[in-house]
Chain A
Amino acid sequence: MGIVARLASGAVALCAVGGATFWFLTAPVRLEPEELAGLGTGDAAKGERIFWAGGCASCHARPNAEGDAKLELAGGLELKTPFGTFVAPNISQDENDGIGAWSAEDFANAVIRGVSPSGQHLYPAFPYTSYARMKPADVADLYVFMKTLPAVSGKTPDHSLSFPFNIRRGVGLWKRLYLTTEPVVTLDEAAPEPAMLGRYLVEGPGHCGECHTPREFSGAARASQWLAGATAAEGDGIVPNITSGEGGIGGWSEDDIANYLETGFTPDYDSVGGSMVEVQKNMARLTAEDRAAIAAYLKAVPPHPNGFPPRKTQQAVTE
């Protein structure tokens, strides 16, 4: 065998090994039987709380839906990000266009593992990186609640992503690096009950860190700046720092935070704005205890200065 042929066969073998490694490393990982056992039978009334805490309707209802129309999860909202445009899919109970045919196991694999019933990776625009921290029983409750919602026909358009983000299998590598069920913030064993509940709501279903935490180039949340605020993923502007660090909400009391989540007003009676408007409406549907828990947790997280750059002074530019 000549040197060229040997080199060529070596290259082919390497590619095969590389390909096999890629295939192995990127394989979707479903929930284990013991995790699925934790699902239980589900309770629709409890699931409604998780539905609002999770903000499902904010992306999956039709854009600008109000009132009961928020329960028609036809999808269609576009998220325009640096990776491309994601389109929130139909997750109504329609058997063909939505998720009406999914089992509770299918649903749990999608929500906490980001794996579709056909075994494909879902993109983390669907915030399963946060939902991974949810209790399986809560996911089962959510499943049963969503079963009570209407079926709406109509498939949504596909995502439109640029290379290499359009290769779904690649999401597997990303998950290996970033998907964890562990809490972000370590709380003292003796931490009060509300802070522990708040951690669950914020880091899990509430997925607050998805917008309020700066991201690495890879798109992963930067744990060292957890909730420090970030440049908005879509368009201009920033998402505020909600830690007690400089530029954050250290001046707010727990009551101030809970009141903001309930009414949409800051302590100075400035109002909620941007995409937080929808989130705040969801938070207003939770119980006062849940809002107080979120407040207790936010006061307990490590303080960080703003996770976004200070704005350029426009006057300095124009004058």
Chain B
Amino acid sequence: MRKLVLAVSMLAFASSAVMADPIAQRQAIMKANGKALKSIAAIAKGEKPFDAEFVLAALKTLNEEAQQIDVAALFPQGSETGGDTTASPKIWKDMPGFQKAVDKFKADTAAAVAAAPADVGALKAEFGKVSQNCGSCHESFRLKKG
């Protein structure tokens, strides 16, 4: 029992340690998103041969990362500044708008996985739908800083 309590409290501690740095965590997710997209970008452009298995794996990775974007946990009050965050203050001024943008991104990545593109044309369509979320969200909710 004692061990269990210890284990549980360790776990709680571990997760709180992760949560203590939401800025680093959300940045890691964004980086992973970029990496997953990059891995299939050349295929979507027709510059590399189409590989259905590889494409689906990348889309799944992207979707798993996207689903981890928990707005409340990753963008809590107090994480507006700090580290090298480039999150815009507009996130906290317009939480519902930000949540909506995140939800749309999650829905689009899930739909891309469900679509399981079988050829370059299908990938192009899904890639386009997913990737336009990047710019439209960053247009309002990211702020370039020096």
Listed in ascending order, the chain A residues whose CB lies under 8 Å from chain B are 231-232, 236-240, 263-265, 268-275, 277-278, 280, 306, 308-311, 314-315, 318
Q: Which chain B residues numbered 89 to 146 have a C-beta less than 8 Å away from chain A? A: 89, 131, 134-136, 138-139, 142-146
Contacts of B145 in A (CB 8 A): 236-238, 311
Q: Which listed residue (B41, B84, B85, B138) contacts A269, Cβ 8 A?
A: B41
Interface 9-residue window, one of B11-19, B32-40, B49-57, B67-75: B32-40
Is B82 in contact with chain A by the CB < 8 A criterion? yes
Q: Which listed residue (A232, A270, A277, A318) contacts B82, Cβ 8 A?
A: A318
Distance between Cα atoms of A239 and B37 in the complex (Å): 25
Check A269 against B37 for contact (C-beta < 8 Å).
Answer: yes
Of the four ranges (under 10, 10 to 19, 20 to 34, 35 or more), the interface on chain B belongs to 20 to 34
Contacts of A239 in B (CB 8 A): 144
Check A271 against B138 for contact (C-beta < 8 Å).
Answer: yes
Known: A278-B139, A318-B82. 8 other contacts (CB 8 A): A232-B144, A237-B143, A265-B41, A265-B131, A271-B138, A272-B135, A274-B144, A314-B82
Check A309 against B41 for contact (C-beta < 8 Å).
Answer: no
Q: Which listed residue (B34, B83, B84, B142) contacts A268, Cβ 8 A?
A: B34
Is B81 in contact with chain A by the CB < 8 A criterion? yes
Smallest CB–CB gap between B23 and chain A, Å?
10
Q: Can you list 29 A-B contacts (CB < 8 A)?
A: A237-B143, A237-B145, A238-B145, A264-B135, A265-B38, A265-B131, A268-B34, A269-B34, A269-B37, A270-B30, A271-B138, A272-B134, A273-B138, A273-B142, A273-B144, A274-B138, A274-B142, A274-B143, A274-B144, A277-B135, A277-B138, A309-B146, A311-B84, A311-B145, A314-B82, A314-B83, A314-B85, A318-B81, A318-B82
Listed in ascending order, the chain B residues whose CB lies under 8 Å from chain A are 30, 34-35, 37-38, 41, 81-85, 88-89, 131, 134-136, 138-139, 142-146
Contacts of B85 in A (CB 8 A): 314
Distance between Cα atoms of A237 and B140 in the complex (Å): 12
Q: Which listed residue (A269, A310, A315) contacts B146, Cβ 8 A?
A: A310
Contacts of A275 in B (CB 8 A): 139
Report, nearest first, the 10 A-B pairs whose CB atoms are least far apart.
Answer: A273-B138, A271-B134, A269-B34, A269-B38, A277-B139, A311-B146, A237-B143, A273-B142, A277-B135, A264-B135
Nearest opposing residue in chain B for A239, CB measure: B144
Contacts of A308 in B (CB 8 A): 146
Nearest opposing residue in chain B for A309, CB measure: B146
Contacts of A265 in B (CB 8 A): 37-38, 41, 131, 134
Check A269 against B35 for contact (C-beta < 8 Å).
Answer: yes
Contacts of B139 in A (CB 8 A): 273-275, 277-278
Distance between Cα atoms of A72 and B135 in the complex (Å): 23
Check A280 against B135 for contact (C-beta < 8 Å).
Answer: yes
Contacts of B35 in A (CB 8 A): 269
Contacts of A232 in B (CB 8 A): 144
Smallest CB–CB gap between B88 and chain A, Å?
8
Nearest opposing residue in chain B for A266, CB measure: B34
Smallest CB–CB gap between A139 and chain B, Å?
29
Smallest CB–CB gap between B130 and chain A, Å?
11
Contacts of A310 in B (CB 8 A): 146
